């Protein structure tokens, strides 16, 4: 029996990667009866780990250590802690790791988005980022990439043997797969739950996630003004934490709404919902006329697949991994062209047949993304590394 540690420090502090960790470990525990698993979390993740039934599970040992990501403590205290532990393999679920750690580890690289935005970062932070990423690629036993697009991008920067990088697609949470089987009447009922909770009266477009530069929200907001001018009373709902480090986005939202962002009203053209709890997120997807993803770079992108599962047609930028993941289940635009973004959104809003067609294709597309398949391929990698 080998001892495997899963780095789950994003649980409770980073929504998307935290959900990825749960998808990975829960399905590994289902299929791997030979190895012993531990899950490393920070104190902020205890509540979610308990909700997922892992805290008292006899299949996994939960370790709690308050060491933040991308910190000096990660390079020192985490290194010391790991070196004292008897793990045969560590699975880092993001590229960040102690660069002096010399025992076997496998690492996920979700994307290299940050490479295109170094000009916005502190030079010391950039230097450290490059050092950690280089170590992730060269010093790990295997690299897992979420998509072929990410693998190709890694190989552009780091000329390693391409066999070292394995593409393993992420999966869709079982809750969303259950919703995908609902009939139209029940999907509408679910969507109305979100509208009622936030007292929304208009139809709306939905965006979920961060406000970082690569998410291209500035162009999406500009395009939305054109859409609203052409289509009329439609709202754009932004679900996710308000990012105070993006003052230009905040200023544009305040300009469109005509008041400070802290005074959000349900009737605002851009409704800033803030953090939406998991139990309402599926309702947000189900109630949307369309889900929009205007990103300039994506290593995979779970939200559009979740939106599809909940019945929302997707309008997305045709760039990086997005067309690889969504295939023919999205209506694509050029994310660098505001007019094209607006036009493609309007086409979906104004054409019911197109929306229905996108939903139909989407329900076929999501069948490709299973956490069970992800766990099987991940376990194959673990076995390969441990045998060596």
Residue 49 has what pLDDT?
97
Read off the pTM.
Answer: 0.92
Nearest residue to 307 (alpha-carbon basis) of 332, 333, 326, 334 = 326
- Residue 117 pLDDT grade (very low, low, confident, very high; cuts 50, 70, 90): low
Per-residue pLDDT, averaged over 361-371, amounts to: 96
Residue 122 has what pLDDT?
72
Per-residue pLDDT, averaged over 318-335, amounts to: 96
pLDDT at residue 125 is higher than 80: no
Cα distances from 16 to residues 23, 115, 126, in angstroms, run 11, 20, 23
Per-residue pLDDT, averaged over 206-235, amounts to: 93
Tell me the average pLDDT of the chain. Answer: 94
**Structural domains of the chain, ranges and CATH numbers in brackets:** 3-171+370-387 (3.40.50.2000), 174-368 (3.40.50.2000)
Q: Is the separation of the CB atoms in 206 and 198 below 8 Å?
A: no
pLDDT at residue 162 is higher than 70: yes
Residue 303 has what pLDDT?
95
pLDDT at residue 188 is higher than 70: yes
Residue 16 has what pLDDT?
82
What are the tens digits of pLDDT across the range 50-89?
Answer: 999 999 999 999 999 999 988 999 999 999 999 999 999 9
Give the integer Cα–Cα distance in Å for 381 and 143. 9
Per-residue pLDDT, averaged over 329-354, amounts to: 97
Residues facing 372 on adjacent strands: none
- Residue 302 pLDDT grade (very low, low, confident, very high; cuts 50, 70, 90): very high
What are the tens digits of pLDDT across the range 270-279?
Answer: 999 998 988 8
- Write down the residue that tokens 């973004």 correspond to: 341
Question: Is pLDDT larger for residue 271 or for residue 233?
Answer: 271
In Å, how far from its chain's centre is CA 222? 24
What are the tens digits of pLDDT across the range 23-38?
Answer: 999 999 999 999 999 9
> Which pair of structure tokens corresponds to residue 79?
């290194």
Cα distances from 142 to residues 66, 139, 173, in angstroms, run 26, 9, 25
* Helix (H/G/I), strand (E/B), else coil: 206: strand
What are the tens digits of pLDDT across the range 199-213?
Answer: 998 999 999 998 988
Give the integer Cα–Cα distance in Å for 388 and 141. 10
Pairing relationship of beta strands 105-109 and 89-92 according to DSSP bridges:
parallel
Residue 133 has what pLDDT?
94
Return the half-sphere exposure (C-beta side, CA atoms, 13 A cut-off) of residue 24.
Answer: 30
Give the integer Cα–Cα distance in Å for 182 and 171. 19
137's CB contacts (< 8 A; 6+ apart) are: 109, 143, 154, 158, 160
Per-residue pLDDT, averaged over 218-226, amounts to: 97
Residues facing 333 on adjacent strands: 317
pLDDT at residue 351 is higher than 90: yes
* Helix (H/G/I), strand (E/B), else coil: 76: coil
Residues facing 3 on adjacent strands: 36
- Residue 119 pLDDT grade (very low, low, confident, very high; cuts 50, 70, 90): low
Residues facing 143 on adjacent strands: 107, 165
* Helix (H/G/I), strand (E/B), else coil: 274: strand
What are the tens digits of pLDDT across the range 243-288?
Answer: 998 999 999 999 999 999 999 999 999 999 998 988 899 999 999 9
Q: In a 10 Å sphere around its CB, with 0-12 CB exposed, 13-18 middle and 19+ buried, how is residue 196 labelled?
A: exposed
Per-residue pLDDT, averaged over 308-330, amounts to: 96
* Helix (H/G/I), strand (E/B), else coil: 315: strand
Q: Where are the alpha helices (DSSP H) in the chain?
A: 15-31, 46-51, 72-75, 77-84, 123-139, 148-157, 174-179, 184-198, 217-231, 247-257, 278-287, 302-309, 322-326, 338-350, 352-365, 371-387
Residues facing 265 on adjacent strands: none
Residue 321 has what pLDDT?
95
Percent residues over pLDDT 90 in the chain? 87
Q: How many CB atoms lie within 10 A of CB 144?
A: 24
């Amino acid at each position: 029996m080998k001892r495997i540690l899963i780095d789950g420090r994003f649980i409770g502090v980073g929504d998307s990667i935290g959900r990825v960790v749960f998808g990975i470990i829960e399905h590994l525990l289902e299929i791997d009866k030979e190895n012993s698993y531990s899950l490393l979390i920070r104190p902020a993740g205890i509540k979610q780990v308990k909700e997922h039934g892992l805290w008292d599970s006899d299949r996994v040992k939960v370790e709690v250590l308050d060491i933040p990501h991308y910190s000096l403590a990660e390079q020192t205290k985490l290194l010391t802690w790991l070196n004292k532990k008897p793990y045969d393999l560590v699975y880092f679920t993001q590229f960040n790791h102690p660069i002096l750690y010399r025992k076997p580890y496998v690492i996920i690289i979700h994307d290299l988005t940050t490479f295109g935005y170094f000009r916005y970062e502190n030079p010391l932070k950039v230097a450290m980022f490059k050092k950690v990423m280089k170590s992730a690629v060269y010093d790990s036993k295997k690299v897992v990439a979420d998509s072929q697009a990410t693998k190709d991008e890694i190989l552009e920067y780091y000329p390693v043997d391409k066999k070292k990088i394995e593409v393993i697609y992420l999966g869709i949470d079982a809750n969303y797969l259950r919703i995908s089987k609902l009939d139209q009447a029940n999907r509408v009922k679910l969507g109305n739950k979100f509208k009622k909770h936030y007292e929304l009266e208009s139809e709306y477009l939905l965006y979920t996630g961060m406000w970082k530069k690569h998410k291209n929200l500035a162009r999406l907001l500009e395009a939305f003004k054109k859409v609203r001018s052409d289509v009329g009373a439609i709202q754009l709902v932004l679900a996710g934490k308000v990012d105070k480090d993006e003052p230009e986005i905040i200023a544009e939202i305040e300009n469109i709404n005509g008041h400070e962002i802290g005074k959000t009203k349900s009737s605002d053209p851009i409704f800033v919902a803030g953090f939406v709890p998991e139990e309402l997120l599926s309702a947000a997807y189900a109630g949307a006329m369309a889900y929009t993803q205007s990103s300039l770079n994506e290593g995979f992108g779970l939200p559009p697949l979740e939106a599809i599962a909940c019945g929302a047609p997707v309008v997305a930028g045709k760039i990086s991994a997005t067309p690889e993941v969504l295939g023919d289940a999205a209506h694509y635009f050029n994310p660098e062209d505001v007019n094209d973004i607006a036009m493609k959104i309007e086409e979906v809003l104004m054409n019911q047949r197109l929306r229905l067609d996108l939903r139909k294709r989407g329900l076929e597309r999501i069948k490709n993304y299973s956490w069970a398949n992800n766990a099987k391929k991940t376990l194959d990698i673990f076995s390969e590394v441990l045998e060596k």
